[in-house]
Every structure is written in C-alpha cells, then in structure tokens.
Amino acid sequence: DGGITQSPKYLFRKEGQNVTLSCEQNLNHDAMYWYRQDPGQGLRLIYYSQIVNDFQKGDIAEGYSVSREKKESFPLTVTSAQKNPTAFYLCASKPQGTTNEKLFFGSGTQLSVL
C-alpha cells in the first residue's frame, strides 16, 4: 500500500544526545514536511523540502537539521541544541506542482527526554 511511514513510534533522548527520526514515503511525492506538535497545540513547521537536495527552514528550525538525499526519504535530526525536544513529530508529503494542498501525514513519532 502507498503511504508515508514514520519510525520509531516512540523515542527517548538523553541529555546531550542527537536523535534521528525517520520518514519514508512511496507516494512519489516531491514535497515533504516536518511538523512539531505540543500537547493541546496546533502544528508548527520545522523544515520542508520541495525537491531532492533542497530544503527550507520553517518557523521553528533552531535545534533541528534535515537532509533530502532521496525523494522517498526526509529524516529529521533533533540535536542537543534543541533544549525542549519533548513533542509529537509529524512528517507529511504532497505532490509538487498541484493546486491541491492535500497533505498526507505519517502516524507520528513521540519524542521524550530521559
């Protein structure tokens, strides 16, 4: 089945540690996004990529990094510089060059600090 897969479902980070969240899609979508969601809040954009080897900062990029070496994959690294990383992280994708803003979301990764 086509879709967008995030792993792991739950992740724990120790102080000073970098962790990487995986996002893979087999929908042949060009654009991919990472959002952060805190309890009871909406979604805030961290990074997005419209095409392979290119990505842009979103509203809250500090303390995060991404790469887009393959169309299918858009991993997010939460670095030690992110002082409050505990949140629900959502990855999304959509085809490029369309007027339909229909985003497809993964099931999310809950990151907690030990």
Partner 1 sequence: DAKTTQPPSMDCAEGRAANLPCNHSTISGNEYVYWYRQIHSQGPQYIIHGLKNNETNEMASLIITEDRKSSTLILPHATLRDTAVYYCIVRVPWGGGSQGNLIFGKGTKLSVKP
Binding residues (CB under 8 A) for partner 1: these are 33, 35, 40-43, 45, 48, 50, 56, 58, 88, 90-92, 94, 96-108, 110
Name the nearest CA neighbour of 82 among 6, 10, 18, 8: 18
Identity of the residue, 44 or 80, whose beta carbon is nearer to partner 1 in the bound complex? 44
Identity of the residue, 53 or 98, whose beta carbon is nearer to partner 1 in the bound complex? 98
CA 3 to each of CA 44, 55, 63, 107: distance values in angstroms, whole numbers, following the listed order: 22, 21, 28, 10
* Smallest separation, CB 19 to partner 1 (Å): 19
* Smallest separation, CB 16 to partner 1 (Å): 28
CA 36 to each of CA 23, 62, 67: distance values in angstroms, whole numbers, following the listed order: 14, 12, 17
